[in-house]
């Protein structure tokens, strides 16, 4: 089952009951790109339930599949590492290099984007999927890892990646539902047991 984010919208790419209010969409793979034109025409955010499951083989017909990895990093002060990129709060993440494993890419990307070191993976988190257009349609599969860092040095944003700020944010004041972030990032932060209730 795929939960695929497209901008502020969620596409449920499987037949299932969902607790959110959803709009059914009769999937015709020949005209699948029309769905994104429809979503672009909307003002608010919606959840779309496709009429049938999408396999990775079907998705490969429409999208370039890009693999990425990222980290939800905590420190001794119960703070979480956040980046500010392209006008929104985000989590550090990036594409895998050729032959690289997800967990090593996650550590490398967090180090590069935040100027931090001494990261330790403590847990594997859920995988997220999101769609965007960069000369071609891209489906990005991001593996997320919970991490811990004891690094107390100054954080350095990777400016060439459009990151203008890197900050430790207190988890007890972090409100994912009202945070100015992407819907896919909000879902990562809302994974059970990740943040204090």
pLDDT in tens, 138-186: 999 999 999 999 999 999 999 999 999 999 999 988 888 888 999 899 9
Q: Which residues pair with 68 in a beta bridge?
A: 95, 142
Dump pLDDT digits (tens) for 87-118: 999 999 999 999 999 999 999 999 999 999 99
Q: What is the pTM of this model?
A: 0.88
In the chain, what are the domains? Answer: 3-62 (no CATH), 65-189 (3.90.79.10)
Phi-psi group of 142: left, alpha or beta (phi > 0 → left; psi -120 to 50 → alpha; rest → beta): beta
CA distances from 41 to 24, 45, 60, 127 (A): 17, 11, 25, 28
* CA gap 193, 121 in Å, rounded: 16
């Amino acid at each position: 089952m795929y939960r695929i984010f497209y901008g502020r919208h969620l596409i449920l790419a499987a037949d299932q009951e969902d607790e959110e209010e959803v709009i059914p969409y009769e999937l015709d793979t020949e005209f699948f790109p029309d769905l994104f034109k429809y979503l672009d025409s909307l003002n608010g955010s919606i959840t779309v339930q496709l009429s049938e499951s999408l396999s990775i083989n079907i998705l490969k017909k429409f999208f370039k599949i890009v693999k990425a990895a990222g980290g939800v990093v905590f420190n001794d002060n119960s703070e979480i590492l956040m980046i500010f990129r392209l006008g929104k709060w985000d989590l550090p993440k990036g594409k895998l290099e050729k032959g690289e494993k997800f967990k090593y890419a996650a550590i490398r990307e967090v180090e590069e984007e935040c100027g931090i070191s001494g990261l330790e993976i403590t847990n594997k988190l859920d995988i997220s999927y999101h769609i965007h257009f960069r000369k071609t349609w891209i489906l990005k599969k991001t593996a997320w890892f919970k991490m811990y860092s004891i690094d107390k040095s100054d954080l350095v944003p990777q400016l060439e990646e459009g990151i203008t700020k890197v900050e430790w944010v207190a988890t007890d004041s972090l409100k994912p539902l009202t945070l100015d972030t992407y819907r896919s990032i909000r879902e990562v932060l809302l994974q059970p047991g990740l943040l204090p209730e």
